[in-house]
Amino acid sequence: MAVTLPRPQAPAAPAQAAPEYGTLPAYHGFVSWLTTVDHKRIGILYGSTAFAFFLLGGLEALMIRIQLATPGSTFVSPDAFNQLFTMHGTTMIFLFVMPMSVAFFNYIVPLQIGAPDVAFPRLNAFSYWTFLFGGIFMNLSYFFDGMPDGGWFGYAPLTTIQFSPSHRIDFWMLSLQILGVASLAGAFNFLVTIINMRAPGMSLMRMPVFTWNTLITSFLLVFAFPAITVALILLMFDRLYGTNFYYAPNGGDPLLWQHLFWIFGHPEVYILILPAMGMVSEILPVFSKKPLFGYPFVVYATVAIGFIGFGVWSHHMFTTGLGPIANSFFAASTMLIAVPTGVKIFNWMGTMYGGAIRFTTPMLFAIGFVSMFTIGGLTGVMHAIVPVDMQHQDSYFVVAHFHYVLFGGAFFGIMGGIYFWWSKFTGRMLDEKLGKWVFWLVFAGFNLTFGPMHFLGVDGMPRRVYTYGANQGWSGWFGMDWLGWNMVVTIGAFIIMVGMLIFIYSAFKALRGPKDAPTDPWDGATLEWSLPSPPPVYNFAVAPVVRSRDAFWAWKRRPQAVEAGENVATLQVGGHTVGHAEFEEEHPSEEYLAQERNAYYADPATFHIPNPSFFPIIAAFGLTCLAAGMIFGYALSIAGFLYLIVAIGGWAMEPTS
């Protein structure tokens, strides 16, 4: 017999209308998108742009797979292929997964912690525009010397001026610096937001796991990005000013590049996966109808992964001849990091165990994440065994491993997040039937694409090769040159494409429909589900007082259960302990709750909504010109610098209310 839980009602219209943005041209229409500082709009911008880059990266992947389906193919030239795999990796990592994660950070985190916006709305906008311009700048290389072709990891000395004399690598190097500024600015913003702007009662251990993962990812960004910034600066100085940091004949050491790059690069892969893990940690409990199993352990495990993640970087360098002591150390640390990862996987399974599992599309993607990420994790442990890595490194086995964790992991998590929160962003639901088609096609296509790559790797096929011989054993089933695992992989890639085309169709179909999605279609556990879809510009009219984890479930189910043993004495507001005399603990009465709502209700007409501003986009443009001038001439750099200074000056002087 079903028990009906009290459902939240739609918010009553406040007595005075919430403030509109005003009447200046900056506030309406297309221009309002250029000047927006609203975290929700910026989230939409990030998400749409990231998805567009995903399609670009996917196209690059399909071209790679057409070329590699058969031996000796001439579909693309060797030069074009090398640009394709470089751009595929760079695009997917820096222009898709990272910004798509930031899209979710932007939209969801302030809602989950009960905040009106992020800590620095204009900095937020600046992050987005810098990302957009950086991504465009990198792709502009197509119209000049050609796209970067040094691999996404850009190993010196191949990327030094001696071996890559054209401007391709300059575009790559400068774009990454621009994108780094965007990522860092975003990381600072989310850290301050999460540390400082939580609703009353939301201690760190009551935060949703997605918010926790945002916090840890942001710390990883803050500490990892400077390493690649320096690596790229040294490369820039070598290429532009004749220094010798990576030039071996004059004493430079290519290993320096690898160390600096991977000190960034390994935390980077955790930056890529942690947000998706956070999404999965939100989705699984909702569709199992029970809380996340072992919340503190999931949090501690994630923190541990963040820390240990800085101590494993040389496992990307096992074949460079670091010596047995270094190799043993990094083998051990890499194996160590499997432990907290396993803890999380078991806790996700524990969440579903004993639950009442509903197989909606977001849940399918989340389950797919758990399953596929486990496989990727197992092959990762294989690579940690250094002698085994001597056979696996730089082969398709590694390509299989990281696609299982990045596609089967991060991408599945992101798709789950898109399906889960779509109605909150847009006010419409995505079609569930089409969603199941999307999932199963993508799931099947994904496994068909990346599963056989394990076999190709064991069969000795190296990576980053534009072609291979018919006699090398990577094709030629039943005496037919063209048939083999490579052909299967290519077919799988096209199946993924079909699945994603259905997704795009389903998204457009939803967006054309009326905004009729329920506020809380899934019986969500966290605060964003208490708001209308999409939320008003000011987010919360009533600052939610949080007494437990899964604050919205607690609120909905307050007659039945409130988290026992929550220590209300630690309630902090404004940095001062308010003390538990302030708030009735454990089982507040309806009357008490009504009083509290009055205390925390504010008339939306009085809300201070940050003004839109032109300065973030101007600053972002100036920064991009500054970088571009390193290729096109210092006049452009000077102009860019001036734009930047003017924008920063205007930004500093601009009134915020």
Partner 1 sequence: MSIAHDVHSAPAPAHGGGHGDHHGPGPLDGKWSAPVGHALPTSTGLDNRKLLMWLFLASDCMFFGSLIGTFMVYKGRSTVGPSPHEIFDIPYTSVSAFVLLMSSLTMVLALAAIQRNDQPRLRIWLITTALLGSVFIGGQYYEFTTFYSENLTLQHSLFGSSLFTLTGFHGAHVTIGIFWLLYMTAMSWTGRLNSEQPLFIEIAGLYWHFVDIVWIVIFTVVYLLP
Partner 2 sequence: MPFPRASGPGRKLILLSLGVALTALLSGCANVPHTTVLPKTEAAQKIQDLYVLIFWLAVAVFILTQGGLLWVLWRFRARPGHELPEQTHGNTTLEIRWTIAPAVILVIMAVPTIRTIFELESAPPAQASGLPPLVVEVVGKQWWWEFRYPEIRKPNGEPLVTANEMVIPTGRTVYLHIISDNVIHSFWVQQLMGKIDAMPNHENKIWFTAEDPGQYFGQCAEYCGIQHAQMRMNVIAMAPADYEAWAQRSAQPAEPVTDIAKAGAEAFVTNGCAGCHTVDGNPTAIGVIGPNLSHFGSRTTLAAGILQNTPENLAAWIQDPQAIKPGNFMTNQHVKPTDVDALVAYLHSLK
Site for partner 2 in 544-603 (CB under 8 A): 561
Q: What are the C-alpha distances in Å from 462 to residues 77, 194, 446, 466, 474?
A: 18, 44, 20, 10, 11
**Contacting range for partner 2; rule: CB under 8 A; set: 354-362, 589-597, 604-612, 633-641:** 354-362
Give the Cα separation of 417 and 410 in Å (integer): 10
- Long-range pairs, 161-165, Cβ under 8 A, ≥24: 161/238, 161/239, 162/247
Is 299 a binding residue for partner 2 by CB under 8 A? The answer is no
Is 119 a binding residue for partner 2 by CB under 8 A? The answer is no
User: In this chain, which of 303, 434, 458, 502 binds partner 2, going by CB under 8 A?
Assistant: 458
User: In this chain, which of 172, 293, 313, 615 binds partner 2, going by CB under 8 A?
Assistant: 293
User: In this chain, which of 484, 524, 616, 622 binds partner 2, going by CB under 8 A?
Assistant: 484
User: In this chain, which of 54, 133, 210, 245 binds partner 1, going by CB under 8 A?
Assistant: 245
With CA atoms as reference, report the closest residue to 127 among 176, 177, 183, 178: 183
User: In this chain, which of 60, 528, 566, 596 binds partner 1, going by CB under 8 A?
Assistant: 596
- Long-range pairs, 263-266, Cβ under 8 A, ≥24: 263/224, 263/227, 263/310, 263/313, 264/224, 264/225, 264/227, 264/228, 264/231, 265/153, 265/228, 265/313, 265/316, 266/309, 266/310, 266/312, 266/313, 266/315, 266/316
**Contacting range for partner 2; rule: CB under 8 A; set: 13-21, 339-347, 493-501, 569-577:** 339-347
Nearer to partner 2, 467 or 637 (CB): 467
Q: Which residues from 126-165 bind partner 1, rule CB under 8 A?
A: none
Nearer to partner 2, 196 or 471 (CB): 471
Nearer to partner 2, 130 or 258 (CB): 258
CB of 403 to partner 2, least distance (A): 17
Nearer to partner 1, 250 or 328 (CB): 250
CB 617 within 8 A of CB 35: yes
319 interacts with, out of partner 1, partner 2, none, CB within 5 to 8 A per kind = partner 2
User: In this chain, which of 148, 200, 208, 380 binds partner 1, going by CB under 8 A?
Assistant: 200
596 interacts with, out of partner 1, partner 2, none, CB within 5 to 8 A per kind = partner 1
Q: Which residues from 554-573 bind partner 1, rule CB under 8 A?
A: 555, 572-573
CB 95 within 8 A of CB 116: no
Is 607 a binding residue for partner 1 by CB under 8 A? The answer is yes
DSSP 404-468: HHIIIIIIHHHHHHHHHHHHHHHSSPPPHHHHHHHHHHHHHHHHHHHHHHHHHHHTTPBSS-S--
CB of 367 to partner 2, least distance (A): 7
Phi-psi region of 650 (alpha: psi -120 to 50; beta: other; left: phi over 0): alpha
163 interacts with, out of partner 1, partner 2, none, CB within 5 to 8 A per kind = partner 2
Helix axes 168-196, 98-113, angle to 10 degrees: 10
Site string for partner 2, 384-403 (x = CB under 8 A): xxxxxxxxxxxx--------
Is 446 a binding residue for partner 2 by CB under 8 A? The answer is no
User: In this chain, which of 214, 327, 379, 519 binds partner 1, going by CB under 8 A?
Assistant: 519
Nearer to partner 1, 73 or 229 (CB): 229
CB 317 within 8 A of CB 250: no
**Contacting range for partner 2; rule: CB under 8 A; set: 206-214, 218-226, 263-271, 342-350:** 342-350
Cα within 13 Å of Cα(557), Cβ side = 19
User: DSSP assignment, residue 92?
Assistant: I
Is 76 a binding residue for partner 2 by CB under 8 A? The answer is no
Is 233 a binding residue for partner 1 by CB under 8 A? The answer is yes
User: DSSP assignment, residue 164?
Assistant: -
307 interacts with, out of partner 2, partner 1, none, CB within 5 to 8 A per kind = none
Distance of CA 468 to the CA centre of its chain: 34
Could you tell me how many residues of this chain bind partner 1 (CB under 8 A)?
79
CB of 57 to partner 2, least distance (A): 19
Q: How far apart are the first and last CA of the chain?
A: 53
Q: Which residues from 57-116 bind partner 1, rule CB under 8 A?
A: 116
CB of 538 to partner 1, least distance (A): 8
Q: Which residues from 155-174 bind partner 2, rule CB under 8 A?
A: 155, 157-158, 163
Q: What are the C-alpha distances in Å from 103 to residues 44, 109, 195, 298, 349?
A: 7, 10, 19, 23, 27
User: In this chain, which of 1, 12, 356, 564 binds partner 1, going by CB under 8 A?
Assistant: 12
Q: What are the C-alpha distances in Å from 595 to residues 198, 222, 584, 588, 601?
A: 21, 42, 11, 11, 10
